[in-house]
């Protein structure tokens, strides 16, 4: 495994799913977490549904342990990952949550994730989670807000089972969300924070995006929780390639209160760019003039294929860790690592 890197070591993270093209599809699927649906569980008798969940939680604990162990063997600059949300399938759904109170299932949930958390600590692997797009705190609907709180608390429970609660972002762990609906206003997000447990508030981060709350909209929240700067979302809205010395980055960095920040990067799809020239930086205005829609611009490429774009993103490692949001997951983050760390030497 090598020496564990310190928490200030610059890192690149892979996101949610591990790809290995050398394996058949079935074997590749076994590298990643398994899931089920509320509908499928609802068709079963309660005992059968519990047994189904016991098997899934055990398997997911083993799979997560394998994913984190694999990440801990990477060079120090690549020891970070975003976990998929389905560690405990359907946990936050009100029809399923009572099943997790079953003593046998509870024993499995309390023990299955512990080894993965220990390997993360030993190997210096930074972990994050990202609830889905429907987990929104800034909303005018009480039911939507309550569901968002339940989902964030579920992700907090996963972090607790991994040993990553108690205090401000232990080992850099975080649970990242989008703010929510524009109509509710950013103060609705702030007003919802007291509904969360202390552990959840100490793990929560908020990310700028394209359709509701941009970077400047989120800056007033910097006193309440860390801001995750998504460079691609910002580019989609403004066309700006923010540099590390941009003054707007100062409050973002300070919002993490001494913990090394995390940011996100992705690239527009190469087919949007005339000639797909990997040495010409994508120009938002030119792409729109050529007929690209906002939806086209938002879509993530398979990898960070554009060389000046990747070099620009790499400059931000001077102040933050970077999660690579790309279709080809760990393959894309490994590519980007070669840009950032041309000579990767195991510590």
Q: What is the mean pLDDT of residues 137-164?
A: 96
Q: Write the Ramachandran bin of 183: left for phi over 0, alpha for psi from -120 to 50, otherwise beta.
A: alpha
The CATH fold assigned to 12-340 is: TIM Barrel (3.20.20)
Start-end of H helices in the chain: 25-29, 38-42, 46-72, 103-112, 114-123, 142-161, 186-192, 198-203, 215-218, 231-238, 249-255, 284-289, 294-298, 307-315, 329-340
Confidence of residue 139 (pLDDT cuts 50, 70, 90): very high
What does the alpha-carbon distance between residue 341 and residue 344 come to, in Å, rounded to a whole number? 6
Given a cut of 60, whether residue 211 has pLDDT beyond it is yes
Does this model's pTM top 0.85?
Answer: yes
What's 49's DSSP letter? H
Per-residue pLDDT tens digits for 75-86: 999 999 999 999
Q: What is the mean pLDDT of residues 218-247?
A: 97
Average pLDDT, the chain: 94
């Amino acid at each position: 495994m090598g020496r564990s890197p310190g928490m200030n070591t610059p890192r690149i993270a892979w996101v949610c799913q591990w790809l290995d093209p050398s394996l058949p599809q079935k074997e590749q699927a076994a590298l990643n977490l398994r899931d089920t649906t509320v509908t499928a569980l609802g068709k079963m008798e309660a005992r059968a549904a519990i047994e189904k969940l016991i098997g899934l939680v055990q398997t997911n604990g083993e799979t997560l342990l394998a994913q984190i162990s694999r990440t801990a063997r990477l060079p120090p600059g690549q020891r970070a990952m975003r976990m998929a949300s389905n560690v405990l399938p359907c946990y936050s759904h009100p029809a399923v949550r009572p099943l997790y109170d079953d003593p046998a299932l509870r024993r499995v949930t309390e023990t299955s994730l512990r080894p993965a958390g220990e390997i993360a600590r030993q190997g210096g692997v930074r972990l994050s989670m990202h609830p889905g797009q429907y987990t929104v705190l800034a909303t005018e609907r009480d039911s939507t807000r309550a569901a968002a709180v339940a989902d964030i608390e579920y992700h907090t429970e996963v972090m607790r089972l991994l040993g990553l609660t108690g205090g401000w972002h232990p080992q850099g762990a975080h649970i990242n969300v989008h703010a929510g609906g524009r109509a509710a206003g950013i103060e609705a997000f702030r007003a919802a924070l007291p509904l969360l447990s202390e552990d959840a508030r100490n793990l929560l981060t908020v990310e700028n995006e394209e359709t509701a709350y941009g970077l400047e909209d989120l800056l007033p929240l910097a006193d309440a929780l860390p801001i995750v700067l998504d460079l691609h979302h910002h580019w989609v809205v403004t066309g700006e390639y923010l540099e590390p010395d941009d003054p707007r980055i100062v409050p973002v960095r300070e919002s993490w209160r001494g913990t090394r920040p995390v940011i996100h990067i992705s690239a527009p799809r190469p087919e949007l760019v005339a000639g797909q020239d990997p040495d010409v930086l994508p120009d938002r205005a030119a792409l729109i003039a050529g007929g690209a829609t906002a939806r086209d611009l938002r879509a993530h490429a398979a990898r960070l294929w554009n060389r000046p774009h990747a070099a620009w993103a790499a400059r931000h490692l001077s102040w933050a860790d970077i999660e690579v949001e790309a279709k080809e997951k760990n393959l894309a983050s490994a590519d980007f690592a070669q840009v950032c760390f041309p000579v990767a030497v195991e510590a």
